């Protein structure tokens, strides 16, 4: 019993000495080391201990001796106090020969857990008050053979002393462990892997998990749903039902739908949609007549197509044709997607929204799953409240749930029969915004005119009340009337000096110029727009400065999209051609906007063009503007995309070939100058034209004995191209024929042949009246052809400026129709 008591006393003494060492109260370790090493020498193999800077204590299992060299000295504090405590416990436990031993597998598992825990602790803020070295020491396995070393620390810098905490000195000096080749106290088990290897593998595992988590976060909401915000009730209901079924198929966290993102009332709603367009990996496009007439959805489609043009593997588009659009409203870049779309207009036209949704989901689900990364089911929908709570009053109408709508109808005094019809159709605030009187009758069965009128009046009353809320400032800004001659400059803060110079020059031309607050930019995009949105709403024109800093500027991105949402006239001042590096969303919005070339043109000349676009010269009595001046102003203004491509060398100066020409211009030589102006105007608008002005041959004659009257149209000489043969092929390949009518044109044999050939090829004809000519003067077959079409009067300067845009619009519609045939 006395032996057991002595062992217990020795064990307590060792623990007390160790605690004293941790607290810095014991300056010598000789007594403790002798006790520990002596017991270790009696119990196990060789041990060696160095004490102090010049003191070595060695105990061997074969030679039970102690060798002490040097004159002794104080021992500096260890960096790994917990390992010393472990040595003490191991010394005491080694006396018990019958103690339990941990097998190699358990020791390896314990080592792995210890290393992971040590890695996690090293990343945390140390807690010196709650650290417990005893608990950590208990988890360590007792080593079979160990070596104890105490190195000389007199050469260390002063700040290296006493810089340890109760857990690990790695936290205080994370770089020290990598530099030290040996630790102050090193306990190594020969049968265990080294700690550095375990730390490395654990670190790699943690980095892999973090990278995977970060990757999943970036991939979230990668499927974008593009639809028209101006869509009617049935189309919106179809969109909502389609998204709901897709989310029920484990795509709840993969689909980005603005209704479910609850941002439809946000001032940055438009820019949020375009940002989602730029980041998505797949997009569902729901085409209809309203899709191509709504700017928001049209910009989304153009941005997606732009991304595909830059990288065909960037994303996948799933087109759905819900309703046939007007063929003249469809841009040509959408034609391929319309042809490949899932058609719901044929045999599926009379099906319900749920049936159409099932057709779409069944057709795209298998391919759509390839672009999903989260694969999570939607959150369970809580059952509707059995009792009304009045919570709908705190929400905007666009955020109402179906339960909120039912409570709102109950408060209006609507009978349960009518409320039930809306509940069965799952009408919420989002669908209520598109509901019309016809929809309530035809699709919801509400035949009571009184009930329908009451619901519609209350919807308008609720929207009017919400319009006055402070956070709906953007709705009030959109309804604000712009002031004439007020210009707003959009620029990146890095271009403030350029903006100030342009502002001063425009002010000298009697314009009022404003821009965003250069001092107060806000802490978020919402706050930035709120600060400057009211000023932007007062402007009639917006000038966007394109420089190197503008390519990735968030200020330009959000202000341009907000200005377009407000319906402002945007003009681009291109100081640097950054079109290739411009964001796809900005390309979609600014591509068709007029642009002024400040990069290659003289600054005063470009400034005059910009002034003419913003503030055209009004009619002054007695002053007639020269046509040359007007042509110069029109020539200096081009769509941004066309201007950027021409500056980049993408547009060739040579006339288009007969296969490339979209517009065939038929004319008579006496109006060659005017025809040349019209051709340049059409080509600047992006319509390649063909006319024999640049053919280099003699001008077209005015009599029946023309220069090409004896040339057969069917003759084509491969060695020497004839004008007649080229006219025939160009007429066949073009999409529309523009005939320039004058009195001499109607009497020309050449022009009559042009019209006859166009009629034979079933080409649409646009007659332009350049000089008054009575129809009776034309041959009968020519008169019959021209009477089928309405002419555009360009016979004087006033009518020319008034109707030239009508020509551009009719040409655009004719080309769009021809490309879809």
What string of H, E and C letters represents the secondary structure of 525-591? HHHHHHHHHHHHHCCCEEEEEECHHHCCCHHHHHHHHHHHHHCCEEEEEECCCCHHHCCHHHHHHHC
Q: In a 3-state reduction of DSSP, which class is residue 672?
A: helix
Q: How many CB atoms lie within 10 A of CB 15?
A: 15
Tell me which DSSP letter residue 595 carries. E
Q: Is the pLDDT of residue 109 over 70?
A: no
Domain match, 541 and 669 both: no
Domain match, 542 and 563 both: yes
Mean pLDDT (the chain, rounded): 74
Q: Is 578 part of any domain? A: yes
User: Among 103-117, 310-324, 594-608, where is mean pLDDT lowest?
Assistant: 103-117
CA dist., res. 241 & res. 256, Å (int): 14
Q: How many CA atoms lie within 13 A of 324 on its CB side?
A: 8
Q: Is 212 part of any domain? A: no
CA dist., res. 431 & res. 273, Å (int): 19
- When pLDDT is averaged across residues 181-196 and rounded to a whole number, the result is 42
Q: Is 158 part of any domain? A: yes
Domain match, 455 and 492 both: no
Q: Is the pLDDT of residue 484 over 90?
A: no
Q: Give the pLDDT band (50/70/90) at residue 543.
A: very high
Q: Which of 646, 672, 690 is the last residue of a domain?
A: 646
* Angle formed by the axes of helices 627-635 and 603-614, nearest 10°: 100
Please, is 130 exposed, middle or buried when counting C-beta atoms within 10 Å of its C-beta (0-12, 13-18, 19+)? Answer: exposed
Chain segment 322-374, per-residue pLDDT in tens: 998 887 778 888 988 999 999 998 888 889 889 999 999 999 999 999 998 88
CA dist., res. 58 & res. 41, Å (int): 10
Q: What domain range includes position 522?
A: 482-646
Domain match, 285 and 319 both: yes
- The Cα-based distances of 173 to 79, 163, 188 in angstroms read 10, 8, 22
Chain segment 10-34, per-residue pLDDT in tens: 555 554 554 444 444 444 444 444 4
Domain match, 306 and 183 both: no
Residue of 588, 572, 586 whose CA lies nearest to 643: 572
User: Domain tally for the chain?
Assistant: 5
In the chain, what is the greatest distance between 2 CA atoms, to the nearest angstrom? 141
Domain match, 657 and 611 both: no
Domain match, 497 and 589 both: yes
Domain match, 675 and 793 both: yes
Q: Give the pLDDT band (50/70/90) at residue 680.
A: confident
| Pair 745, 795: CB distance under 8 Å | no
Q: Is 208 part of any domain? A: no
Domain match, 717 and 638 both: no
Chain segment 292-304, per-residue pLDDT in tens: 999 999 999 999 9
User: Among 73-82, 252-261, 414-423, 505-514, where is mean pLDDT lowest?
Assistant: 73-82
For 74-102, letters b (16+ CB in 10 Å) and e give ebbbbbbbbbbbbbbbbbbebeeeeeeee
Domain match, 261 and 166 both: no
Residue of 176, 181, 188 whose CA lies nearest to 148: 188
- The Cα-based distances of 404 to 273, 386, 456, 672, 774 in angstroms read 26, 12, 17, 69, 68
Q: Which of 437, 468, 499 is the last residue of a domain?
A: 468
CA dist., res. 790 & res. 803, Å (int): 13
Q: Is 475 part of any domain? A: no
Domain match, 600 and 658 both: no
Tell me which DSSP letter residue 268 carries. T
**What pLDDT score was predicted for residue 448?**
93
Q: Give the pLDDT band (50/70/90) at residue 124.
A: very low
The torsion angle over the Cα atoms of residues 637, 638, 639 and 640, rounded to 10 degrees, is: -80
| pTM of the predicted structure, to 2 decimals | 0.58
User: Which domain CATH number covers 528?
Assistant: 3.40.50.10140
CA dist., res. 427 & res. 425, Å (int): 5
Q: Is 127 part of any domain? A: no
Q: Is 530 part of any domain? A: yes
Chain segment 53-105, per-residue pLDDT in tens: 444 445 444 434 444 444 444 444 444 444 444 444 444 444 444 444 444 44
Domain match, 574 and 639 both: yes
CA dist., res. 712 & res. 666, Å (int): 18
Tell me phi and psi for residue 530, to 5 degrees. Answer: -65, -35
- Our measurement of the distance from residue 117's CA atom to the centroid of its chain's CA atoms, rounded to an integer in Å, reads 40
Q: Which of 415, 441, 468 is the last residue of a domain?
A: 468
The bridge status of strand 255-256 relative to strand 223-226 is: parallel
Kindly give, in sequence order, each residue whose CB lies less than 8 Å from that of residue 1, ignoring residues fewer than 6 positions away: none
Residue of 617, 570, 618, 629 whose CA lies nearest to 596: 570
Q: In a 3-state reduction of DSSP, which class is residue 732?
A: helix
Q: Is 213 part of any domain? A: no
Q: How many CB atoms lie within 10 A of CB 7?
A: 14
**What pLDDT score was predicted for residue 206?**
59
User: Which domain CATH number covers 460?
Assistant: 1.10.150.50
Tell me phi and psi for residue 342, to 5 degrees. Answer: -75, 115
**Residues β-bridged to residue 342:** 320
Q: In a 3-state reduction of DSSP, which class is residue 631?
A: helix
């Amino acid at each position: 019993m006395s032996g057991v008591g002595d062992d217990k006393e020795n064990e307590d003494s060792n623990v007390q000495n160790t605690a004293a060492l941790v607290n810095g109260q014991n300056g010598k370790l000789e007594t403790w080391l002798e006790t520990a090493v002596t017991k270790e020498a009696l119990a196990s193999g060789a041990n060696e201990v160095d004490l102090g800077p010049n003191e070595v204590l060695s105990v061997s299992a074969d030679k039970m001796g102690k060798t002490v060299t040097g004159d002794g000295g104080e021992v500096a504090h260890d960096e790994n106090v917990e390992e010393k405590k472990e040595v003490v416990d191991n010394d005491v436990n080694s006396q018990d020969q019958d103690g339990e031993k941990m097998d190699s597998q358990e020791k390896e598992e314990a080592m792995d857990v210890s290393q992971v825990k040590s890695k996690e602790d090293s990343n945390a803020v140390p807690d010196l008050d709650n650290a417990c070295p005893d608990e950590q020491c208990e988890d360590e396995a007792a080593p079979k053979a160990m070596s104890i070393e105490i190195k000389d620390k007199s050469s260390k810098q002063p700040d290296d002393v006493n810089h340890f905490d109760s857990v690990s000195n790695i936290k205080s000096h994370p770089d020290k462990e990598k530099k030290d080749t040996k630790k102050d106290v090193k306990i190594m088990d020969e049968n265990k892997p080294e700690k550095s290897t375990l730390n490395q593998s654990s670190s790699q595992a943690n980095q892999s998990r973090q990278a995977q988590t970060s990757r999943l976060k970036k991939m979230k909401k990668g499927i974008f749903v593009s639809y028209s915000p101006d869509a009617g009730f049935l189309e919106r209901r179809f969109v909502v039902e389609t998204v709901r079924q897709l989310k029920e198929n484990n795509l709840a966290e993969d689909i980005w739908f603005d209704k479910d993102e609850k941002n439809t009332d946000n001032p940055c709603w438009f820019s949020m949609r375009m940002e989602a367009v730029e980041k998505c990996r797949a997009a569902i496009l729901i085409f209809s007549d309203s899709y191509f007439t709504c700017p928001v959805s049209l910009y989304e489609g153009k941005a997606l197509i732009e991304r595909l043009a830059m990288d065909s593997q960037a994303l996948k588009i799933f087109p759905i044709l819900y309703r046939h659009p007007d063929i003249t409203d469809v841009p040509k870049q959408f034609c391929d997607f319309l042809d490949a779309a899932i058609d719901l207009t044929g045999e599926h036209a009379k099906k319900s929204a749920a049936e159409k949704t099932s057709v779409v989901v069944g057709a795209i689900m298998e391919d759509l799953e390839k672009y999903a990364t989260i694969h999570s089911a939607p959150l369970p929908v809580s059952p509707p409240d059995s009792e009304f709570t009045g919570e709908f009053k705190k929400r905007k109408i666009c955020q109402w749930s179906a339960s909120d709508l039912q409570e709102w109808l109950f408060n209006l005094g609507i009978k349960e029969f009518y409320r039930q019809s809306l509940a069965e159709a799952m009408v919420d605030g989002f669908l209520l915004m598109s509901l019309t009187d016809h929809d309530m009758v035809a699709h919801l069965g509400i035949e009571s005119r009184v009930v329908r009128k009451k619901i519609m009046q209350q919807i308008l009353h609720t929207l009017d009340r919400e319009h006055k809320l402070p956070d709906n400032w953007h709705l009030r800004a959109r309804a604000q009337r712009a002031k004439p001659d007020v210009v707003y400059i959009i620029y990146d803060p890095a271009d403030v000096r350029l903006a100030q110079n342009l502002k001063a020059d425009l002010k000298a031309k009697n314009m009022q110029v404003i821009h965003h607050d250069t001092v107060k930019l806000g802490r978020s995009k919402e706050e930035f727009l709120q600060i400057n949105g009211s000023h932007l709403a007062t402007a009639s024109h917006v000038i966007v400065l394109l420089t190197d800093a503008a390519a990735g500027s968030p200020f330009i991105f959000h202000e341009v999209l907000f200005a377009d949402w407000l319906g402002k006239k945007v003009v681009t001042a291109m100081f640097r051609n950054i079109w290739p590096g411009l964001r796809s969303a900005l390309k979609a919005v600014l591509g068709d906007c007029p642009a002024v070339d400040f990069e290659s043109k003289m600054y005063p000349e470009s400034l005059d063009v910009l002034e003419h676009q913003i503030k055209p010269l009004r009619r002054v009595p007695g002053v007639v503007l020269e046509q040359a001046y007007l042509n110069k102003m029109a020539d200096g203004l081009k769509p941004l995309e066309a201007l950027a491509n021409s500056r980049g060398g993408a547009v060739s100066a040579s006339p288009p070939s007969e296969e490339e020409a979209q517009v065939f211009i038929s004319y008579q030589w006496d109006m060659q100058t005017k025809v040349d102006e019209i051709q340049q105007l059409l080509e600047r608008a992006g319509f390649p034209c063909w006319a024999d002005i640049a053919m280099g041959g003699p001008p077209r004659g005015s009599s029946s004995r023309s220069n090409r009257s004896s040339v057969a149209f069917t003759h084509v000489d491969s060695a020497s191209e004839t004008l007649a043969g080229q006219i025939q092929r160009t007429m066949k390949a073009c999409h529309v024929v523009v005939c320039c009518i004058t009195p001499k044109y109607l009497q020309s044999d050449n022009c009559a042949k042009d019209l006859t050939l166009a009629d034979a090829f079933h080409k649409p004809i646009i007659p332009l009246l350049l000089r008054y000519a009575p129809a009776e003067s034309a041959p009968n077959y020519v008169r019959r052809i021209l009477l089928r079409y309405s002419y555009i009067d360009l016979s004087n300067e006033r009518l020319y400026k008034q109707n030239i845009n009508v020509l551009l619009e009719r040409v655009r519609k004719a080309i769009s129709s021809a490309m879809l045939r």
